[in-house]
């Protein structure tokens, strides 16, 4: 039977659940057990799902700086009454005996009314508009005391040398702990365990708990994914895995927790997940992110994990006799912390000791539908106990080691400001640390970003929103043999969060030969994939006055004589949004070649409005042949991330799939079909196939990936043979058009089509791409092969086939215009001549 614990006497529960244990006291590793995989049963993290989801889930982002939530300037408690939602009997958590989303706000409102230790705030809304809650549990503070805590927190980051000398700070700074729950919607119990901890802290009457809360602030994002919690699905309402979005922050849920981690600057954070059969507690395996100050992390992460393991063992459940700690128990590459896309890894760059926690017993997906309700609820109770115990143990560790955690967060930021090299970590630094764990990088002195383009402005605003410090030159300057204009952006890498700046701006690293496999993506680069021109200065900072940047300078303009038609060159997604906006407004656009859209001079005012709204630049239109522009109407069998991007770019998109077509889809008005997921030509019934064939005789087609290549072959469109690379290969690649991104790369062979883009002679810039078998499926076989092809189909329309991933998780923003140009190119139009 599980061990019951009272709601009062919180410190007694801490002692029972989570005191620090030494490595010697921990259960020995079992080298014979196979490692679990993160989020079992999901397969490759490509979101290979049929196009579906709410039509209204996507909101186009406007140009300009991202808004960032900041806490109100008042003391604690901050007792705001949360709006309460109507009861929803369809909430999937109810079957498990867990708290439905509509039950959270009433519970928090009651706690705020009952306890002056509890504050609840709304820090954002989900993709479908539901409130995201941040609960803070701490002893009451006057406004003056809160301001002092804020000044101390800022000093730790802004002036760590002074913070290290500040005795009052060292004595009085409240240790921040952040718990993030339910980021995957169908991994429920982190929310319930967190609510239990909140209630216990709020209602305990013993002096030790009161003293703990005078030393500590516990921050809890109660559910990071209410849309998924209600629907019983992993992704949010836009179909995105929020725990893959932190470097990109395309989703409101990831932006909300970004703001929380910046505002709270936690010493320790947990991200509560499930289900791996055995409780899993990070630290992770190699490869470790090369931009971490890993010595400061691992000396806390490992003992904290051991403390959490001891806490779940004390629960007394047969399923909690031990935990898996990947750093201790798994082989390199089995459960890595390489990419900054996961919540704990992202939080590490803000000074936190981050942990993924995987509670043990599966209650989602097939188990949810097949297991008896009594068994599901039993499992959910065990999982809630585990979530409670791990949170409790992390609070214990933070309180017990407050001084060391404070000193190490100060040290992380001090190293950044000083521009010091990363520390060499010797073998045995903690038990099990060896050469396979040693990853590091050399930070450049600065990154330089020429201003004036939407891509540069977007990148700068993104960096600033993530608390990376960016400056702008007050006058022109020269650096490393280049001349730069006034207003050029400079990212001085002597800054507290240099690791975060570098992980976004560096190219990355080819780690193919260092580990046998990777859990998720292993290559990304805002510098290479976001479309901005970014230069690296290895040694020198420009000698020019610099001004801190809060928001990028406007980039929109109309640079053409008043009597000239206007041209917009498609270089960026902002250009595409402007074109689709003008087309939707009824402006009679034309095309000049594949990349230029012409606006008649009579519509200059509409162009000027678009320039200001989207930050794009119109120039004088070239003379010569033009083609009438037809606004595409897309039938799209695509993955959720692609659907999101297409709508964000302003396209009129109608999701389709095999099932939708078989049910009788109306092709009226559709100009273009996109296929990457969920559509099988062979799976269509005769009526659906006939309707599709009729469309293919007049419409255009754009495909991506294996599903698209299979569709191309089955529908007999282009005579291109698709060759598949290794399925889990991914990363930033060289192509003839510049850097691109791949996941499960494809290349095309044959004749009878035009090669639009080729892989480079040495394709992989950064990531993990090995051969499937000797001489097959690797980058050497892809070298110089066609990655994107186009042509007139055997049906009479036009088609473009992609073997790369230009829309992957909304990240490679510099490639969005390529996809749009392909859509416009295959959309049928008539030819005309401009005088």
Q: How many angstroms from the chain centroid is the CA of residue 550?
A: 23
The band of 65, judged by pLDDT with boundaries at 50, 70 and 90, is low
Q: In angstroms, rounded to a whole number, what is the distance separating the alpha carbons of residues 372 and 426?
A: 51
Nearest to 532 by CA among 456, 463, 471, 460: 456
Least confident of 68-72, 521-525, 648-652, 659-663: 68-72
Residue carrying structure tokens 């949170």: 391
> Residue 270 is inside which H or E element, if any?
strand 268-274
Residue carrying structure tokens 């940047």: 549
Asked if the peptide bond before residue 77 counts as cis, ω within 30 degrees of 0, the response is yes
Nearest to 607 by CA among 639, 646, 564: 564
Burial class (CB in 10 A: 0-12, 13-18, 19+), 747: buried
Rg of the chain (C-alpha set):
27
Kindly write down the DSSP assignment for every residue of 382-408, as one continuous string: HHHHHHHHHHHHHHHHHHHTHHHHHHH
Least confident of 2-6, 199-203, 799-803: 2-6
Q: Which of the pair, 438 or 13, is modelled with greater confidence?
A: 438
Q: What is the pLDDT of residue 518?
A: 95
Structure tokens at 413: 């930021």
Q: What's the start-to-end Cα distance of the chain, in Å? A: 86
Write out pLDDT tens, residues 750-795.
Answer: 999 999 999 999 999 999 999 999 999 999 999 999 999 999 999 9
The band of 68, judged by pLDDT with boundaries at 50, 70 and 90, is confident
Q: In angstroms, rounded to a whole number, what is the distance separating the alpha carbons of residues 392 and 13?
A: 8
The band of 70, judged by pLDDT with boundaries at 50, 70 and 90, is confident
Q: In angstroms, rounded to a whole number, what is the distance separating the alpha carbons of residues 281 and 270?
A: 9
Chain mean pLDDT for the chain: 92
CA dihedral 81, 83, 86, 88 (to 10 degrees): -100
Q: What is the pLDDT of residue 37?
A: 36
Q: What is the pLDDT of residue 439?
A: 98
Cβ–Cβ < 8 Å for 496, 511? no
Is pLDDT at 543 greater than 80 in this prediction? yes
Is pLDDT at 46 greater than 90 in this prediction? no
633-833 matches 557-628 in CATH topology: no
Q: In angstroms, rounded to a whole number, what is the distance separating the alpha carbons of residues 337 and 519?
A: 9
Q: In angstroms, rounded to a whole number, what is the distance separating the alpha carbons of residues 342 and 354?
A: 10
Q: In angstroms, rounded to a whole number, what is the distance separating the alpha carbons of residues 703 and 714?
A: 13
Q: What is the pLDDT of residue 72?
A: 80
Is pLDDT at 474 greater than 70 in this prediction? yes
> Residue 619 is inside which H or E element, if any?
strand 617-620
**Cβ-proximal residues to 781 (8 Å cutoff; 6+ apart), any chain:** 723, 725, 771, 775
> Residue 646 is inside which H or E element, if any?
helix 640-648
Q: In angstroms, rounded to a whole number, what is the distance separating the alpha carbons of residues 558 and 549?
A: 25
The band of 20, judged by pLDDT with boundaries at 50, 70 and 90, is very low
Q: What is the pLDDT of residue 69?
A: 78
Helix, coil or strand: residue 106: helix
**Cβ-proximal residues to 704 (8 Å cutoff; 6+ apart), any chain:** 638, 642, 674, 675, 676, 801, 802, 804, 805, 806, 807
Helix, coil or strand: residue 540: coil
Q: What is the pLDDT of residue 66?
A: 62
Cβ–Cβ < 8 Å for 726, 706? no
| CATH 3.40.190.10 correct for 557-628 | no
Q: What is the pLDDT of residue 625?
A: 83
Cβ–Cβ < 8 Å for 526, 474? no
Structure tokens at 266: 């936690």
Kindly write down the DSSP assignment for every residue of 652-690, as one continuous string: EEEE--HHHHHTT---TT--EEEESSS--STT--HHHHH
**DSSP letter assigned to residue 293:** -
Q: What is the pLDDT of residue 382?
A: 98
CA distances from 219 to 28, 254, 265 (A): 33, 16, 10
Cβ–Cβ < 8 Å for 516, 443? no
Percent of the chain at pLDDT > 90 equals 89
Q: What angle do CA 758, 761, 767 make, to 5 degrees?
A: 90
Q: What is the pLDDT of residue 664?
A: 98
Is pLDDT at 530 greater than 50 in this prediction? yes
Sketch the domain layout of the chain as residue ranges.
Answer: 86-418, 446-548, 557-628, 633-833
Mean pLDDT over 543-566 rounds to 97
**DSSP letter assigned to residue 50:** -
Catalogue the active-site residues.
Answer: 358
Helix, coil or strand: residue 219: strand
Backbone dihedral angles phi then psi of residue 224, each to the nearest 5 degrees: -85, -5
For the chain, give me the number of helices (H) and strands (E)? 26, 34
Pick the CATH number of 86-418 from 3.40.640.10, 3.40.630.10, 2.40.50.180, 1.10.1740.10: 3.40.630.10
Is pLDDT at 8 greater than 90 in this prediction? no
**Cβ-proximal residues to 740 (8 Å cutoff; 6+ apart), any chain:** 529, 732, 733, 734, 757, 787, 804, 805, 806, 812, 815
Nearest to 10 by CA among 392, 384, 399: 392
Mean pLDDT over 528-538 rounds to 98
Mean pLDDT over 727-745 rounds to 98
| Bridge partner residues of 446 (DSSP) | 492, 537
Is pLDDT at 10 greater than 80 in this prediction? no
Least confident of 220-224, 533-537, 585-589, 828-832: 828-832
Q: What is the pLDDT of residue 724?
A: 98
Q: What is the pLDDT of residue 71?
A: 82
Is pLDDT at 432 greater than 70 in this prediction? yes
Asked if the peptide bond before residue 458 counts as cis, ω within 30 degrees of 0, the response is no
Cβ–Cβ < 8 Å for 650, 578? no
Structure tokens at 764: 């992989």
Q: What angle do CA 236, 237, 239 make, to 5 degrees?
A: 65
Backbone dihedral angles phi then psi of residue 700, each to the nearest 5 degrees: -100, 165
Q: In angstroms, rounded to a whole number, what is the distance separating the alpha carbons of residues 574 and 459?
A: 13
10 Å Cβ neighbour count for 756? 22
> Pairing between strand 546-548 and 557-559?
unpaired
Write out pLDDT tens, residues 272-302.
Answer: 999 999 999 999 999 999 999 999 999 999 9
Write down the pTM of the prediction.
0.92
Q: In angstroms, rounded to a whole number, what is the distance separating the alpha carbons of residues 85 and 87?
A: 6
The CATH architecture one would assign to domain 633-833 is 3-Layer(aba) Sandwich (3.40)
Asked if the peptide bond before residue 634 counts as cis, ω within 30 degrees of 0, the response is no
Write out pLDDT tens, residues 91-133.
Answer: 999 999 999 999 999 999 999 999 999 999 999 999 999 999 9
Mean pLDDT over 522-550 rounds to 98
Q: What is the pLDDT of residue 12?
A: 38
> Pairing between strand 268-274 and 175-181?
parallel
Cβ–Cβ < 8 Å for 323, 278? yes
Q: How many angstroms from the chain centroid is the CA of residue 341?
A: 5
| Bridge partner residues of 491 (DSSP) | 447
**DSSP letter assigned to residue 595:** T
The band of 43, judged by pLDDT with boundaries at 50, 70 and 90, is very low
């Amino acid at each position: 039977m599980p061990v019951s614990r009272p709601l009062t006497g919180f410190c007694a529960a801490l002692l029972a659940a989570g005191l620090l244990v030494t490595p010697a006291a921990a259960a020995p590793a079992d080298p014979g057990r196979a490692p679990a995989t993160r989020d079992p049963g999901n397969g490759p993290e490509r979101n290979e799902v049929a196009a579906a989801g709410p039509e209204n889930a996507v909101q186009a982002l406007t140009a300009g700086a991202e808004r960032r939530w900041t806490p109100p300037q008042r003391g604690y408690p901050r007792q705001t009454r949360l709006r309460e939602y109507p009861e929803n009997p369809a909430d999937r958590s109810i079957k498990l005996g867990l708290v439905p989303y509509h039950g959270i706000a009433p519970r928090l409102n009651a706690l705020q009314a009952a306890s002056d230790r509890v504050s609840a705030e709304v820090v954002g809304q989900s993709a479908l508009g539901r409130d995201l809650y941040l609960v803070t549990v701490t002893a009451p503070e006057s406004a003056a005391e809160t301001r002092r805590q804020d000044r101390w927190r800022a000093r730790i980051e802004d002036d760590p040398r002074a913070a290290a000398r500040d005795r009052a700070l060292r004595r009085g700074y409240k240790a921040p702990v952040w718990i993030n729950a339910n980021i995957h919607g169908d991994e429920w119990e982190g929310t319930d365990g967190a609510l239990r901890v909140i209630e216990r802290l709020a209602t305990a009457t013993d002096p030790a708990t009161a003293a703990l809360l005078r030393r500590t602030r516990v921050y809890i994002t109660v559910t990071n994914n209410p849309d998924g919690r209600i629907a019983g699905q992993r992704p949010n309402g836009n179909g995105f895995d929020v725990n893959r979005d932190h470097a990109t922050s395309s989703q409101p849920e990831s932006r909300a927790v970004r703001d929380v981690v910046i505002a709270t600057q936690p010493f320790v954070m947990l991200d509560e997940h499930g289900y791996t059969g055995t409780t899993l507690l990070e630290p992770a395996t190699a490869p470790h992110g090369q931009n971490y100050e890993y010595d400061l992390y691992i000396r806390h992460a490992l003992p904290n994990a051991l403390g959490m393991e001891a806490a779940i063992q004390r629960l007394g459940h047969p399923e909690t006799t031990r935990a898996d700690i990947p750093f201790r128990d798994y082989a390199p590459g089995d459960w890595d912390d390489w990419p900054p896309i996961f919540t704990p890894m992202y939080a590490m760059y803000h000074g936190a000791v981050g942990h993924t926690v995987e509670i043990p017993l599966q209650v989602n997906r097939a188990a949810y539908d097949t297991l008896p309700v009594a068994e599901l609820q039993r499992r959910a109770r065990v999982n809630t106990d585990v979530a409670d115990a791990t949170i409790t143990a992390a609070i214990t560790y933070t309180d017990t080691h407050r001084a060391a955690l404070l000193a190490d967060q100060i040290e992380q930021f001090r190293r950044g400001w000083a521009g010091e090299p990363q520390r060499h970590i010797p073998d045995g630094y903690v038990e099990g640390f060896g050469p396979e764990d040693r990853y590091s990088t050399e930070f450049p002195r600065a990154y330089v970003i020429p201003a004036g383009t939407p891509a540069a402005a977007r990148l700068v605003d993104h960096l600033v929103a993530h608390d990376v410090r960016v400056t702008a030159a007050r006058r022109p300057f020269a650096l490393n043999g280049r001349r730069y204009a006034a207003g050029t952006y400079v990212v001085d890498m002597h800054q507290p969060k240099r690791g975060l700046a570098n992980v976004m701006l560096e190219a990355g690293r080819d780690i193919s030969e260092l580990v046998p496999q990777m859990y998720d993506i292993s290559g990304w680069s805002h510098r290479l994939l976001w479309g901005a021109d970014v230069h690296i200065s290895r040694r020198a900072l420009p000698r020019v006055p610099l001004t801190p940047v809060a928001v990028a300078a406007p980039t929109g303009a109309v640079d053409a004589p008043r009597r000239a038609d206007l041209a917009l060159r498609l270089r960026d997604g902002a250009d595409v949004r402007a074109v689709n906006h003008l087309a939707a407004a009824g402006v009679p656009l034309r095309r000049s070649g594949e990349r230029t859209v012409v606006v008649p001079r009579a519509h200059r005012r509409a162009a000027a409005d678009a320039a200001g709204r989207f930050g794009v630049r119109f120039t004088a239109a070239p003379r010569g042949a033009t083609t009438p522009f037809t606004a595409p109407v897309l039938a799209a069998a695509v993955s959720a991330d692609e659907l999101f991007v297409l709508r964000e770019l302003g396209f009129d998109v109608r999701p389709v799939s095999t099932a939708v077509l078989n049910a009788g889809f109306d092709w009226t008005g559709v100009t273009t079909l996109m296929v990457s997921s969920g559509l099988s030509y062979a799976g269509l019934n005769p009526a659906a196939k006939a309707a599709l064939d009729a469309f293919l005789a007049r419409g255009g087609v754009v495909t991506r990936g294996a599903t698209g290549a299979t569709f191309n072959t089955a529908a007999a469109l282009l005579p291109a043979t698709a060759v598949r690379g290794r399925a889990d290969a991914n990363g930033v690649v060289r192509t003839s058009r510049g850097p691109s991104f791949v996941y499960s790369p494809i290349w095309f062979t044959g004749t009878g089509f035009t090669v639009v883009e080729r892989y480079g002679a040495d394709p992989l810039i950064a990531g993990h791409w090995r051969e499937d078998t000797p001489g097959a499926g690797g980058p050497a076989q892809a070298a110089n092969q066609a990655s994107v092809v186009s042509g007139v189909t055997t049906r009479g329309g036009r088609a473009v086939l992609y073997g790369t991933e230009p829309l992957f998780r909304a990240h490679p923003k510099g490639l969005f215009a390529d996809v749009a140009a392909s859509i416009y190119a295959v959309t049928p139009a008539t030819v005309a001549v401009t005088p």
